[in-house]
A and B are shown apart, each in its own frame.
Chain A
Amino acid sequence: MTDARVGGVGLTHFGVHPERTSRELFAEAGLAALDDAGIDREDVEAVHYGNFMGELSEHQGHQGPLAAEALGLDVPATRYESACASSGVALRQAFRDVRNGEADVVVVGGSERMNNLSTAESTEALAIAADDLYEVRAGMTFPGAYALMAAAYFEEFGGSREDLAHIAVKNHANALGNDHAQYQREITVEDALDSPPVAEPLHLYDACPVTDGASAVVLVSEEYAAAHDVAAEVAVTGTGQGGDKMALQDRDDVATSPAATDAAEEAYADAGVSASDVDLAEVHDCFTIAEVLAVESLGFFEHGEGIAAAREGVTTRDGDLPVNLSGGLKAKGHPVGATGTSQVAELTKLLRGDHVNSEHVADATTAVAHNAGGTVASAVVHVLEAVDDEEVGA
């Protein structure tokens, strides 16, 4: 087996681009990734592509072939759908193909167009990630589901809306210099607390925005990188995936996210690292409470202690363990099917040193990406490690 190297990454601006089709957004991100890698198009062997709501927002299923042709490629292409973890699971498959020696060069990414829908329509579209019979038909919304998790967390472990507000403030601050981010503006704890309620205890500033955007990553084998002199300074070294019951009502405890715990344990074992080795993380903060559940599942904090991490400065950019230096889903934005690979694109740049926030993690070598689907009924975790330049050509 070989580790898969990140040969190149590409991102569109994440924001409000209602007129742009998901295929054209993906073209921009994917071509940027190929340019970043400096790889000939003839060498790409497959495209793995995440998309969530194409049938609803664009009346377009079967987007895999569209994704490949958008990049000018004539290769097998598959679309993955696991709600907000769509491109995370696509990455897992792409990574396994390269590590198992079945491919030397693959493009993996995702794209989502959402803002061509009204707010009501996109709320309804996002709700299909929940159980239609037993959740959606009872009036459950996506924010409502996370609100139930937040209320259960507060009841079981304590914590407050102010603790959650500190997460939003942190992630907005991290996005300030990120030109790919939807919100490049600071907010205060008071702004967050005073924002209108969406699903109590969650308010507007606890929620990620509705975002259009795309992301892409080129994975190459170690051998290919060496033979073709590809500057691939970051390797994906571990993958893990966990699953849980679809509906919250069918889980024993909704104040934790065991699927992500399982994914993290598998990914750490795969990479031969432990939680204490991790220097930085991009986690799936679709709502502020989701970041709390994520950092606990990743083993950075005991259950009940992740709620205070942002307020106490542990996960801020100058803290011991910066989380969501990109701005996270909260401030960078959440084009659902593009989010998983966008986390890996951001982490790659952070580790390579060409990210606007790289200065905050100058000595970092190990990073983790945590991508969750629905209310963490699907979870994917990947470990990335900086590779010594000397090794690349070895």
Chain B
Amino acid sequence: MVSGDVVTDSMDRSSRLRRHITIDADLAQLADIRAAVREVASTCEAPADCVSDLVQAVDEAATNIIRYGYRGEPGSIDMTAELVGDDIVITLSDEAPTFDPTAAEPPDLSIAPQHRRPGGMGIHLMRLSTDSMEHRVRPGGGNILTLTRSRVRRPKEG
């Protein structure tokens, strides 16, 4: 099941725009959450590279929540996307066991691949496609992950 709503307030000159969607913790619903991100980023007049970065980051985050958070158990993911100044701020909220992707070790691309720490390719992509990632434990259980990406400049590589 997918549910959502769009609230736009054209009267507010600080350009607040907000989109909310809830998806089941099911890999088959990743396409719906990506479509919602695309829609909101386009409404924010974000350039193509910003839209695809946000789609990437949210897809990788939601995939991790479904696979390694809920692990096949039923659950849901709430996504809120909001334009704050020139930042698009996306919050993913779940009720899965605590997992902090921001604490995962980044792969060191300067060393030979066979000596790198395994895992974390999706998290690596999340880092490169956002300006910041912040994790909080959700009161009552679960996780709140906030991804921020400027719509006017690309995040630093590396």
Do chains A and B interact in one complex? no
A-binding residues in B (CB < 8 A)? none
